[in-house]
Structure 1
Amino acid sequence: MSTFIRDFIEREKMNRRNFLLASAAGMGSLVIPSAFGFDRARAQLVDPQIAWSYRDRASPYWLAIVSGGETFVESIGRPRDSLVNLINEGSSEKSLADIVSFLQATGGNCAIACDANDSPNARPIVEAVAAAGAYISTIWNKTDDLHPWDFGDNYVSHMTWSDLKPSEDLARALFDAMGGEGGVVHIGGIPANNPAIERLQGLRNALVDYPNIELLDAQPGDWDTQKAADVMSQFLTRYGDQIKGVHCANDVMAYGALEAMRAEGISGIPVTAYDGNPEAVDLVMKGDLLGTCFTNPHWGGGITAALAYHAAIGTFKPSEEPPEHREFYGPTILITQADAENFKKEFIDATPTYDWTDFWGPTNGQIQYPASN
């Protein structure tokens, strides 16, 4: 196995340690003023600053997201480093505080692309942005009762990915690799995250057709490699050779699972992942991972920033768009050993060129909610 997994874990540890030191110094504290000082919502902005609010730089997924955002700002004649990075390190409190500070610093003359870190955090972020007369597009995490059209034009759009079917397909491939029987464990994301919920449910959906597969345990790894390694070590202690397969909710947690098994001298247990990061695709090609799922984060990062920016300057008016242009699913591609090499050539060895004004080209339709919503 490549040593990159151990190097990756060390980088994550260092990033986490730096964040904790910053928080101890008061940099992560949340101070929200009672009023933003804005008394009007502007129809359009002039030369707004652009920011991406996201989790961390340790993850190849978020690096791809930001790379897309930087490519977009280049397309409008700005330098890549003009994109403001608001890195929350997995803290919803810091996510909101950083956005409030950015709104104050720019006087609301800004466009923000954002993953709120967890679903409940999306509402206060959106409310702060709308109150400031700024514009925001979100991805992945929001509650089902929060909708862009409830905020006029300022909440431009929300994109998520329909993880149920891809996660179910990966689970079926995993169960087939297990010979249709034995115990499986699941390492999930932050429990309140929409993708974490759907990826576990996809696994459960697949279990219906595999009566001889038993879900031994499902525990959160919080999208973190080291925590996933710890969870996998606990699974190995508790269940031992009952474990015949591992279903992970993202790539970097799969790295942790592989490292935990390597430390115990265990090999040959099939593992699935999610995100389609370059390292994960290499592991699929080598056979260390059974499969992963690509959500095209480069495009997602660029188009989310593009939507917020173009709405802010008045290129289009969000409130005049149909619902499927306000809430929509992003693209997904399943990657197995059979197609990993071709995928790598198309999406990793070469970055496709995108038209950042084709806002909804690769999307997969309007987000669907449970009937109660």
Structure 2
Amino acid sequence: MSFIRKFIAQESARRRDVLLAGAYGLAGIAAAGMPLGALAQNQNRPTVAWSYRDRNNPYWHSVVSGGESFLESAGLKKSDLVHLLNNGSSEKSLADIKALLTKTGGRAAIACDANDAPNCRPIVESVQKAGGYVSTIWNKSADLHPWDFGDNWVSHMSWSDEGPAEQTARILFNAMGGKGAIVGIGGIASNNPAIERRTGLMKALKDFPGIELLDYQPADWATQKANQVMQGLLTRFGNKITGVFCANDAMAYGVLEALKAEGRRLPMVAYDGNAEAVDLVIKGELLATCFTNPYWGGGVTAALAYHAAIGTFKPSQEPREHREFYGPTIVVTQKDAAEFKKKYISSTPVYDWKDFWGPSRGPIKYAAKS
């Protein structure tokens, strides 16, 4: 469990860092040590940036590693990627992107997770106004679409989390023998994946009347906060808790540490398919996790923004299923975890970064309006 304690220590350090960084206008870029505009001045290429939460999180590390792999395939260096680290702040995400656009004169190709759905609109409006290009993942509102922003909002990729989350919840409930009481640990409340994963859990609960949901609390995707939330839930409910649903792997690590401190071990499921979580599935400490191939997602998102910026393709001439689409998801259980690790973790699949939509799972679908 040493890696769990390391996660908690890292998150404490990150919170201190972002408070200090707030005193500066563009902390994410400064921290990256990247001379802004270097790419725009070199061969007239756009500056390429990834705006994301933090790289200490294995999920985001994999995302950005994919982005770096794409850059190398395009004849650039890993160090050419500008890292806009928002540390979970939507305000910082928007401020850093605006600063990048100003510094580069809009000559930028940006890959971005807006951090929460409401923040997506001001980001894409800022990019369009500056004449830059952006491809987004995960978070946007249902009434907001890339094709309403011409070519500048290149694409949006999300993952259909509701079904896989329901599947993992059913794995948890079956392991509990269809009876008992669980707690849920969720992500940032306004995040699309947090909403969908909770919805999946609630759907599964309808078929298991013997399972009681004692409480569901957000822990903002963070290991340390999940540790604190779980400590509070253990104080409130004690031995009544017989299972745990976690909306991502990083939070599951904090929950496991809280349980260990109480000398307890409970059936639990998580989400993201991080290397550490897959090892925990192999060991039987997690029942299941879900893999969304963040490496491919990070690479192809950067690739789409870059190729639109240099004119390789014109987004507005693409069908709508190429502008909004689902990424792939694989549910990982103990039965298949070793084989999964061999294919996706011990070795990294080689991707053609010009095959923008190969592994995708079709157009994003929205609930019908009543």
What range describes the TM-score normalised by the shorter chain of this pair?
A: over 0.9
| CA shift for structure 1 position 122 | 0.4
Tell me which of 187, 190, 195 is aligned to 2:188: 190
Is contact 1:254–1:273 with CA below 8 Å preserved after alignment? Answer: yes
What TM-score, normalized to structure 2? 0.94
Q: Contact 2:7–2:224 (CA<8 Å) still a contact in 1?
A: no
Aligned to 1:316: 313
Contact 2:26 2:99 in 1 (8 A): no
Partner Cα separation in structure 2 for residue 188 and residue 20 of structure 1: 24
Distance 1:192 1:363 in 2: 24
Check conservation: 2:223, 2:252, Cα contact below 8 A: yes
Hey, what does 1:306 align to over in structure 2? 303
**1:4-43 mapped onto 2 (5 Å cutoff):** 4-23=3-22, 25-27=23-25
How far residue 21 of structure 1 moved from its aligned partner, in angstroms, is: 2.0
Out of 92, 95, 109, the residue aligned to residue 94 of structure 1 is 92
The aligned counterpart of 1:37 is: none
Q: Which residue of 1 aligns with 2:227?
A: 229
Q: Which residue pairs with 1:351 in the alignment?
A: 348
Poorly superposed stretches of 4+, deviation over 3 Å? 26-29
Match of 2:197 in 1: 199
1:38 match: none
SS in 2 for 1:190: coil
Q: What's the C-alpha RMSD, in Å, of the aligned pairs?
A: 1.2
Gaps of 5+ in 1: 30-44
Q: 1:25-174 to 2 correspondence within 5 Å? A: 25-27=23-25, 46-174=44-172
Q: Report the Cα distance in structure 2 between the residues aligned to 1:215 and 1:27, rounded to whole angstroms.
A: 44
**Residue of structure 1 aligned with 2:213, choices 212, 215, 228:** 215
Say if 2:169 and 2:204, in contact at 8 Å, map to a contact too: yes
SS at match of 1:170: helix
Structure 1: distance between partners of 2:172 and 2:26: 40
What letter is aligned with 2:180? Answer: G
**Do 1:46 and 1:313's aligned partners in 2 also have CA atoms closer than 8 Å?**
no
Residue 350 of structure 1 and its aligned partner are, at CA, apart by 0.3
Residue ranges of structure 2 left out of the alignment (5+ in a row):
28-42
Secondary structure at 1:331 match in 2: coil
Alignment of 1:239-318 (within 5 A): 239-267=237-265, 269-318=266-315
Distance 1:233 1:123, change over 3 A: same
- Provide the rounded CA distance (Å) in 2 between the counterparts of 1:359 and 1:170: 29
Deviation of 1:28 after TM superposition, in Å, equals 7.0
Letter in 1 for 2:131: G
Shift of 1:336: 0.6
Aligned equivalents of 1:28 and 1:111: distance in 2?
A: 17
Partners in 2 of 1:74 and 1:323 — Cα distance? 29
Q: How far off its partner does 1:16 sit?
A: 1.4
Q: 1:249 to 1:221 in 2, by over 3 A?
A: same
**Aligned-residue offset at 1:161:** 0.2
Counterparts of 2:353 and 2:24, CA distance in 1: 38
Distance 1:26 1:133 in 2: 25
SS at match of 1:359: coil
Distance 1:117 1:237 in 2: 31
Secondary structure at the counterpart of residue 4 of structure 2: helix
Task: Tell me the CA shift for residue 46 of structure 1.
Answer: 4.1
The equivalent of 2:2 in structure 1 is 3
| Structure 1: distance between partners of 2:220 and 2:111 | 22
Confirm or deny: 8 A CA contact 2:135 2:153 kept in the other structure. Answer: yes
| 1:234 shift after superposition | 1.0
Q: CA deviation at 1:27?
A: 4.3
User: Per-residue CA shift, 1:154-181, capped at 9, x if unaligned?
Assistant: 0000000000110000000000111100
2:338 paired with 1:341? yes
What is the identity, as a one-letter code, of the residue corresponding to 2:239?
D
**Cα deviation, residue 57, structure 1:** 1.6
Identity within the alignment, %: 66
CA distance in 2, matches of 1:115, 1:281: 24
Name the CA distance, whole Å, in 2 between partners of 1:160 and 1:243. 32
> C-alpha separation between the residues in 1 aligned to 2:84 and 2:271?
24
Return the offset for 1:26. Answer: 4.5
Q: Secondary structure at the match of 2:242?
A: strand
The Cα of 1:67 is off from its aligned counterpart by 0.1
Q: CA offsets, 1:34-54, max 9 Å, x none?
A: xxxxxxxxxxx9411100000
For the 8 Å contact 1:135–1:154, the answer to whether it is kept is: yes
| Matched-pair contact (CA < 8 Å) for 1:130–1:154 | yes
Q: Partners of 2:91 and 2:220 in 1: how far apart? A: 16
